[in-house]
Amino acid sequence: MNEKQTKGVVIKVTDHGESDKIVTFYCPELGRLTGIAKGAKRSKKRFVNKLELFSLLNIVFATNRYSSLVRVDRAELLQSHPAIPHHFQSYAGAMLICELLLNWSRENDGDQRLFRLLLWSLEQLDNQQSAAGIIIIFYSRMLGISGYKPQFGGCLGCGKLSPDVAPFSFRPSRSGIICRRCSPEKRIINPVAINTAKLMRLVAELPLEKVSRLQFSAASQAEALALLRVYGNFLLQREISSWSFFTTAN
Partner 1 sequence: MNVVPPALELLINDLSKLPGIGKKTATRLALYLLRRPAIEARNLAGDIYDLHDSIKLCGNCFTFSETDPCPLCADPRRDPTLICVVEEPGDMMAVEKTGAFKGRYHILHGVLSPMDGIGPAEIKIDALLSRIDRQQIKEILIATSSTVPGEATAAYLIQRLQEKKIKITRLACGIPMGMDIKYADDLTLSRAIESRENTG
Binding site for partner 1 (CB under 8 A): 12, 16-18, 44-45, 48-50, 52-54, 77, 80, 82, 84-88, 91-92, 95-96, 98-99, 102, 241-242, 244-246, 248
Judged by beta carbon, residue 80 or residue 124, the one nearer partner 1 is 80
Judged by beta carbon, residue 41 or residue 149, the one nearer partner 1 is 41
Q: How far is the CB of 196 from partner 1 (least distance, A)?
A: 25
Strand order in the sheet with 176-179: 176-179, 168-171, 191-192
Distances (CA, A) of 63 to 60, 210, 212: 10, 40, 39
Q: Cβ distance 225 to 165 under 8 Å?
A: no
Q: How far is the CB of 94 from partner 1 (least distance, A)?
A: 9
C-alpha to C-alpha distance for 27 and 183, rounded to whole angstroms = 42
Q: How far is the CB of 5 from partner 1 (least distance, A)?
A: 20
Judged by beta carbon, residue 3 or residue 15, the one nearer partner 1 is 15
Q: How far is the CB of 10 from partner 1 (least distance, A)?
A: 9
Judged by beta carbon, residue 30 or residue 40, the one nearer partner 1 is 40
Q: Cβ distance 137 to 211 under 8 Å?
A: yes
Three-class SS state of 210? helix
Judged by beta carbon, residue 98 or residue 211, the one nearer partner 1 is 98
**178 residue type, one letter:** I
DSSP character string of 159-183: ---SGGG--EEEEGGGTEEEETTT-
**What is the chain's alpha carbon radius of gyration, rounded to the nearest angstrom?**
20
